[in-house]
A and B are shown apart, each in its own frame.
Chain A
């Protein structure tokens, strides 16, 4: 029997659709789950996915990908990378697995929502594969770190993080709930696949894969490449959905969803990827700065994809681009200073050579962020370690759940962006975060930040010990300096070398 080429049957199979008779169209695709914005079914059937595959083709390719990733892992299990890699790199692995492994699981649920409630047959088809992709990514990113748990229990946070009240986990979970789990199918197509995956996941995974190969972590490099090829396929679900909405007079609604998706995704990538690239990656292995990477991927490519679709750039675009210069430096200071409250050991990344690099990539760094690090370095060198640990909490943004922070030192511009709503004052990190809240205040109004919970008496005793307990951070899991402060030796020898500029 001759098997037809896929191109000869795919469109017919895809467009073969049910005409419901026992229930109404509205009951089959309720607006709250579908989010079709009133665009009729015949219009949604114009949805044309750019990447077409069949189930047998999908399974064959995925099997090969899995075999590749697992065989590289098996072959390299005895290569002692864990013992020999720079501790900063190990920290990147821990933050990545804890931050993303179960986020992939949430993305699987989101893809499943599109599989069931997507109004377009092609979308449902692609989302079925996307759902299987995300399940694979969850399994991979839980299994790969597991081999390290016996040596370092911080790796256990790959599975543990999302089940705790650790502050970075709350921030990640909040974003996942908002963009993946708590949305209808069309919003997911736009916020998760178009904004989050096209805009940011590509960057995270391409950058990490390249950095992993550079530091000799071929297991992680092959894992991440394997995942990224899936992401680049199912990330294409959102584009055609935007085209249908725009063609049917829903451009403003489509833009609003894109803008919310970008704003939500940016904060998480900023806190996870920014410090990873500019501080935790060993200096000798850094290819690009985080800012250069953002300029290439967000300005160079994602901005073009927005324009190609006929969408206007978000009102906040210039503000977001300006944050490329400073926001992740501020988050890095927060991660390092509040290191007992995170599940990985952040690298300080401020040796004299590293400061020269930061100054070159971010002119003015020494005069701003460097001023805070000057004080920290003096304390470390003088053995005043108590001054390098926090005794209070940062104020957390009521949208991102990350510290409200900005530029310190001689460029000091830290500011609260408050909002009064129904008798409660909310605090935000920027106009963008406040705008996000204002889009659906009823969606966000009842959430309490960690600071709100402390003040409400939910954290007992209300001190650092009580906070760590509330966060489920057990002894042996608290973060500390990745290099055990060895980087400060350069300043002990020559205390005047700290200001590289």
Chain B
């Protein structure tokens, strides 16, 4: 495991937070790490939805099963974590 600090901008939350992800993990695991600090704390869970990840200002999401180190995500990049329907690409 290699820790990767990123900035989490989680949908529905009121602030940006420091989140430590795993650069060897997947985008999904990064989303889980971000959700840990927002969902159930200040953001209500949305059952049936998944959390997708995109770079701030972009519309396209990273592939959920992509390895973080294989993407262009760098330390302290600001990422948006957004609730989405499971079948939506």
Q: Mark A372-413, 1 if CB is under 8 A from B, else 0.
A: 101110010000000110111111000000011111111010
Contact indicator per residue, chain A 408-432, by CB within 8 Å of chain B (1) or not (0): 1110101110100000010100000
Tally of contact residues, A, Cβ under 8 A: 37
Interface residues of B in 1-58 (CB under 8 A from A): 5, 7, 9, 11-20, 36-37, 40-44, 56
Query: A393's contact among B17, B40, B41, by CB below 8 Å, is which?
Result: B17
Interface status of B78 (Cβ within 8 A of chain A): yes
**Residues of chain B within 8 A of A416, CB atoms compared:** 7, 9, 16, 56, 78
Please give, as numbers and ranges, the residues of chain A lying within 8 Å of B9 by CB-CB distance. 414-416
Residue in A388, A390, A405, A418 whose CB lies within 8 Å of B14: A405
Q: Residue A369 at the B interface, CB < 8 A?
A: yes
Q: What's the Cα separation between A405 and B42 when bound, in Å?
A: 13
Q: Is A333 an interface residue (CB 8 A)?
A: yes
> In the bound complex, do residue A392 and residue B14 qualify as a contact, i.e. CB atoms below 8 Å apart?
no
Task: Known A415-B56, A427-B78, A455-B5; judge A369-B41 contact (CB<8 A).
Answer: no
Cα distance A333–B15 when bound, in Å? 9
B76 interface hit (Cβ, 8 Å):
yes
Number of residue pairs A-B, CB distance < 8 angstroms? 91
Cα A408 to Cα B17 with chains together (Å): 13
Contact B19 A414 (CB under 8 A): no
Task: Give the B interface residue count (CB, 8 A).
Answer: 23
Given the known interface contacts A395-B18, A454-B18, the answer about A337 and B42 at a Cβ–Cβ threshold of 8 Å is yes
| Residues in chain B near residue A412, CB distance under 8 A | 11-13
Residues of B within 8 A of A451 (CB): 18
Q: Is A330 an interface residue (CB 8 A)?
A: yes
Name A's B-contacting residues (CB within 8 A): 330, 333-334, 337, 369, 371-372, 374-376, 379, 387-388, 390-395, 403-410, 412, 414-416, 418, 425, 427, 451, 454-455
29 A-B pairs whose Cβ atoms sit less than 8 Å apart in the complex? A333-B14, A334-B15, A371-B44, A372-B13, A372-B14, A375-B40, A375-B42, A376-B41, A376-B42, A379-B40, A387-B40, A388-B41, A391-B36, A392-B19, A392-B37, A393-B17, A395-B7, A395-B15, A405-B15, A408-B42, A408-B43, A409-B12, A412-B12, A414-B15, A416-B9, A416-B56, A418-B78, A427-B78, A455-B5
Q: Give the interface of B toward A (CB within 8 A).
A: 5, 7, 9, 11-20, 36-37, 40-44, 56, 76, 78
